[in-house]
Amino acid sequence: MMEINLKDFGGKCNGNFDNTNSFKKAFDNLAKNGGGKLVVDAGTWRTGPIDLVDNTTLELKEGAELSFVTDPNAYPPVFTRWEGVECYAMHALIRADGCKNVTVTGKGTINGNGNDWWGILKAKKSVGQSKPMASYELALAKLNPDYENQPGGGGGRNIQFLRPCLVEFRNCQHVVFEGVQLKNSPFWTVHPLYTDDLILRDLVIENPYSAPNTDGIDVDSCTNVQILNCSVSVGDDGICLKSGSGADGIRVNKPTANVTIKDCKVRFAHGGIVFGSETAAGIQHVLAENCDLSGTDRGIRIKSRRGRGGDLYDITLSNLLMDDTLCPIAMNMYYKCGITDTKSPLFSLEKQPVTSETPRIHDVKIIGCKGKNCKASAGFIVGLPEMPIDNLEIRDCHFTTDESSNCSPMESDMFYGLPEVTVKSFRVRNAPDAKFENVVIEGPKETFIYE
């Protein structure tokens, strides 16, 4: 394998020099020669967006830090999927598009310097910005003429401030991403999209809990995925599986399937192992086992709502530790984020017509899971009246609530429309054939509430 060093292409690691062009020259050289390895030595390498190419390895040596510039104008529009909808958004800080045999490895760090990005978003919200105004927002709005009608999760679609992911693999095959530390992402951190045969291994992902929309890993319409021994501490969901949102996700019709998650740790996230809420093309054949999800808001989180669509099934969640959560298990078909109308039919307690945009959850097994000090409730399972959660099995589990906590059971997940409950019981609604075997609930006066 051909091996080159970034310094050979004019790279400088003084923290000030812009290495964007050096990375481009280096990868152009590898592409011309059929592939190879680019080595980045210890030091702080300031850079703009990086594009990976076929048959290459990017190795970050111990002590190497890629420090990305924070000017939104440095990240030109590219076609991608953003919060579940295909559109143009800002170029990911590191991106592979349509590549095969790509590896990113080493003991270095990828730093998105997200504080500047989060500050920009906060400032826009503080002045009540409601439409595109900055030049980069207007450019995206022109490329996305239907953006006002596109669904979102609250990340900023209405103003077209479509922040970049830290690392994105789009339409790729045979990808290995291992060993490095990723921190301070502007938006989602690791976003594999339409990618097959992916290994994410030994990654350390850290974003502040207060950082908006900074999911750790978002596997989006991908197949044959392994997520192994990763450590995630972020400001939104930890390890998340998605497959597009609503009509656009149904049109694309690419499910996420054949996913294994093992020996991972998630801390300080809205959800530990998460499905959705972009579920349109379905999520299936998933095994998650031997993970520690303690300290997250919700350990297991499956979320969708009317209009999002998708068939979620053949999911096994085994031997998961979920201490000090709000709620260890949340399966929520009334997910509210991205909607402001609390009286919308999306949240009706009455049966609605079943359409292609009605999500379905079935054939889920939760086995051997434990959680102490659950602050809001012992569990939350809520299906739709027109599409109940079917063939759910929970066995050999033990959950203890923290009855001294001031957290309300209504904080078990984010929803609209459901009647209030005041006890921290395991709540089950519209899941009539759910099977509980050897499930111990300690703490609340009532162990289960069936609705």
Please name the residue that has the structure tokens 């979102």: 152
pLDDT tens string 141-168? 999 999 999 987 778 999 999 999 999 9
- pLDDT tier at 249, thresholds 50, 70, 90: very high
In the chain, pLDDT over 70 holds for what percent of residues? 100
On the question of pLDDT at 330 being above 80, the answer is: yes
What pLDDT is recorded for position 154? 78
What pLDDT is recorded for position 8? 97
pLDDT tens string 361-384? 999 999 999 999 999 999 999 999
148: Cβ contacts below 8 Å, ≥ 6 apart: 158
- pLDDT tier at 186, thresholds 50, 70, 90: very high
User: Is the CATH number 2.160.20.10 carried by domain 3-77+88-129+164-450?
Assistant: yes
On the question of pLDDT at 213 being above 90, the answer is: yes
pTM: 0.97
pLDDT tens string 281-292? 999 999 999 999
More confident residue, 325 or 339: 325
What pLDDT is recorded for position 20? 98
pLDDT tens string 97-146? 999 999 999 999 999 999 999 999 999 999 999 999 999 999 999 999 99
Mean pLDDT of the chain: 97
